[in-house]
Structure 1
Amino acid sequence: MADFLFVYGTLRRACAHPMHAVLAADSRYVGIAQYQGKLYRVSHYPGVVPSDNPVQQVVGEVYQLLKPAQTLAALDRYEECSADFPAPHEYCRELQQVTLENGDSVSAWVYLYNHDLAGLKQIVSGDYLDDWFQQ
């Protein structure tokens, strides 16, 4: 089984965040994908939660991890959900189904937002880049 990762925020290529370079160094870009969820602006970064509504789709990118243990450990530190950080963590990494542009579904790691959503603005388009470029 291949290890896939779905990224929807600052780790996307267009954001040019330094952590994207870490991801890109040890992975293969697969393509654009969608995840059935709701996207929120947490701060200068987003958070996603699963949704039961198939209309609610979050846009992101899928990567095949070539060194999954190493890459996920680095990303867990970046997302502050490793054992180095006190619980409850802001994010939890879980396997979720995502849909690629060609319609194929794959199981991919997704960093899900793990705190209260009260007071957070929903990014209705489901695309963080729409919100990010407006900031």
Structure 2
Amino acid sequence: MRIIVYGSLRRGQGNSHWMTNAQWLGEYRIAGYELYDLGHYPAVIKGEGEIDCEVYRIDSSILAELDELKNDTRDYKRELVKTPYGSAWMYLYLHSVDGLKRIDSGDWVHRKDDE
């Protein structure tokens, strides 16, 4: 199975250690989504933009760990989306983004460049 990561789980980011045992497949810019800044990590919702992602092959134990990480906040749901590497799971934010800063570039790693 595969997973799309777009924020703190990407290479060189604060939570990238969660992806240590995953196989990196490549980068991907996915259309139809918007990226918002929650502080230490981002929120993604369906929308008009594009976001920069990384796609990984993972096993069920990594998925279970990521589900636990995301479910602790109760802020995300997992959805299957198409990528050039095959279908992959992506976590979408469940709450309103009203008042949150949108990262217009769609790139969490370079979000400071948007300011």
**Which category of TM-score, normalised to the shorter sequence, fits these structures?**
0.7 to 0.9
Residues 104-119 of structure 1 mapped to structure 2, 5 A cutoff: 104=84, 106-119=86-99
Tell me if 1:30 matches 2:10. Answer: no
State how far apart, in whole Å, the 1-side matches of 2:113 and 2:66 are: 23
Q: Following TM superposition, by how much is the alpha carbon of 1:73 offset from its aligned partner in structure 2, in angstroms?
A: 1.0
TM-score by length of 1: 0.75
Decide whether the 8 Å contact of 1:4 with 1:62 is kept in 2: yes
Deviation >6 Å, runs of 4+ = none
State how far apart, in whole Å, the 2-side matches of 1:121 and 1:63 are: 27
Shift in CA distance, 132/78, structure 1 to aligned 2, threshold 3 Å: farther
Letter in 2 for 1:114: L
Give the superposed CA RMSD.
Answer: 2.1
Task: Report the counterpart of residue 61 of structure 2 in structure 1.
Answer: 70
State how far apart, in whole Å, the 1-side matches of 2:30 and 2:45 are: 10
Decide whether the 8 Å contact of 1:42 with 1:120 is kept in 2: yes
Task: Report the counterpart of residue 43 of structure 1 in structure 2.
Answer: 39
**Which digits, 9 at most, give the CA deviation of each residue in 1:37-82, with x for residues without a partner?**
100001221011122x3xx2100100011x2x21111111211x2x
Q: Following TM superposition, by how much is the alpha carbon of 1:133 offset from its aligned partner in structure 2, in angstroms?
A: 7.3
User: Which one has the largest radius of gyration?
Assistant: 1
The percent identity for this pair of structures is: 33
What stretches of structure 1 of length at least 5 have no aligned partner?
Answer: 99-103
Count of aligned pairs between the two proteins:
114
State how far apart, in whole Å, the 2-side matches of 1:73 and 1:133 are: 33
Task: Report the counterpart of residue 9 of structure 1 in structure 2.
Answer: 7
TM-score by length of 2: 0.87
